[in-house]
A = this chain, B = another copy of it.
Amino acid sequence: MDFLPLSHYSNKFWLMHKGDVNEEMALMHRRMAERGYKSTPQRDEIARWVFQTHDHFTVEDILEDFRKDGKKISQATCYRVIQMLLQLNLLIEHDFGRGVRFYEHTPGHPHHDHIICNECGQIFEFQSEELENLKESICQKNGFSMTRHNLSIYANCNRCTPEEKAEKAKKRRY
């Protein structure tokens, strides 16, 4: 069991991957070409944002940043590009039961599970080989071929003080 260095505490781990963004863009363009998707400035702009973000994000997060930067890309396009990235297997979708869909890009981001703090809303990631093997073997034994899985553990973290929790909970939009 390994806890990844978490983007919420420090995103050093992921920043080491910064150089990958161009690689991921190239990968995307290859897959787009294969499937007949055309390359457009909007798609590139959104994809670059996505590949640069090493955290769980919502569509609103993208739009907010674009508004701040004065970039005008419509909401509809944004949703459509996210759908495309999902189709190209460059993104995965999470539903943490907060009424919004969260996304994270997959290239360079190995499978992991999530722990969501009930109190402060922070999303933590962890990996457990043992857990992965167990899931796989449960499926195999019972005649399922697993395509993806999603373990969300809701818990109370001991990472912040009650005061910090209250403050973070207040700031949470979702």
A interface, CB within 8 angstroms of B:
1, 3, 93, 95, 97, 115, 117-118, 124, 126, 128, 130-131, 134-135, 138-139, 141-159
Contact = CB atoms under 8 A, between A and B. Distances in A.
B153 A144 contact: yes
15 contacts: A1-B141, A118-B147, A130-B134, A131-B135, A138-B153, A139-B155, A143-B158, A144-B153, A144-B156, A144-B158, A146-B153, A149-B152, A149-B153, A151-B151, A151-B152
A73 to B, nearest CB: 24
A29 to B, nearest CB: 28
**Prevailing SS type, chain A contact patch:** strand
Contacts of A156: 144-145, 147
A135 B113 CA distance: 11
A150 B147 contact: no
A138 B147 contact: no
A155 B150 contact: no
A159 B157 CA distance: 40
A130 B135 CA distance: 10
Contacts of A154: 146-150
A117 B142 CA distance: 13
Given A135-B151, A149-B152, 17 more contacts: A1-B142, A93-B97, A95-B97, A115-B139, A118-B147, A128-B134, A128-B138, A131-B134, A134-B134, A138-B153, A143-B159, A144-B156, A145-B155, A148-B153, A148-B154, A149-B153, A149-B154
